[in-house]
Structure 1
Amino acid sequence: MKNQIILNLPVQDLARSKAFFAALGFIFSDRFSGENAVFMNIVGDTIQAMLTTEPFFESLIGKPVAQAKQANEVVICLSCDSREEVDTLIAKAVAAGGRTPHPPEDHGFMYDQGFEDLDGHLWNLVWVAEEA
């Protein structure tokens, strides 16, 4: 069996969220997708996300859905191949309706910037120099 990471993220508007992540270049699969969820490849076929409508997500967990625009439990961090890739993805996220919660941080050996998606989930993009 292949190891995978699959994030399950509740969203308010599935079509709008799919369009947002498509604008960033993420690829969607029909696998496990339907009217309540879409399956999104983040990094190849080893790290994916299942974007689910909030009511469907709530039916899976049996408790209220936390509103990520009000409080966050997790920050999803993705590594990038270069500073330019970080900046390009941030620009795409902002152009698609996301926002940046803080300016880029440049530590010389490491560069990062975050964005908040349409539902308030926080994503951090980071480049680290190989020699670090």
Structure 2
Amino acid sequence: MTYIFVNLPTTDLDRAKEFYTALGFGINPLFTDDNAACVVVDDNIMFMIVTREYFQTFTDKQVVDPKTHAQALTALTCDSREAVDEVAAKALAAGGAQPRETQDLGFMYSRSLEDPDGNTLEFLYMEPSAVEQGPDAYLAEQGAGSQASA
């Protein structure tokens, strides 16, 4: 079994924990201390929210400020368009921001959000038949033409 741990720097660990629990994610206390919090997204995916100082001990590279530089965009799927909007509303109410407009490509609906530190999270719903067929075939079947590259 493969687990995914996404490490995200924070300037305020308590604020970050409040933000991620407001989205409905849990905290694993076995991997949480004064330097980091293990946010459980699902059984195999965890966000390690790490103080900037502790994060720096994992790399010799400069740790960028996620408010001004993009290093990664973490995308998570949802079960419906409504679920995307629900998690976005929770994120915004918990101090997050939506730096870009909602994207609706017909086969995929997504919202790009930032946590209070500026780390980018994308929540998206993709039509199951678009996953099976590919976006161009799905859109052609819907009579929408090719918007997959839009």
* TM-score, normalization by structure 1: 0.94
Paired letter, 1:12: T
- The Cα shift of 1:32 comes to 1.6
2:77 corresponds to 1:82: no
Query: What fraction of aligned residue pairs are identical, expressed as a percent?
Result: 38
Alignment of 1:1-132 (within 5 A): 2-42=1-41, 44-132=42-130
**Deviations along 1:44-88, whole A, 9 cap, x unmatched?**
220101111111111221343210111101100001100000000
Once residues 34 and 81 of structure 2 are traced to their aligned partners in structure 1, the CA distance between those partners, rounded to angstroms, is: 37
Paired letter, 2:62: P
**Cα RMSD between the aligned structures?**
1.0
Once residues 26 and 8 of structure 1 are traced to their aligned partners in structure 2, the CA distance between those partners, rounded to angstroms, is: 15
Higher helix share: 2
Equivalent position SS for 1:131: helix
**Which structure is higher in RCO with an 8 Å CA cutoff and minimum separation 6?**
1
Higher strand share: 1
Aligned length: 130
Moved over 4 A (4+): none
* TM-score, normalization by structure 2: 0.83
| Greater radius of gyration (CA) | 2
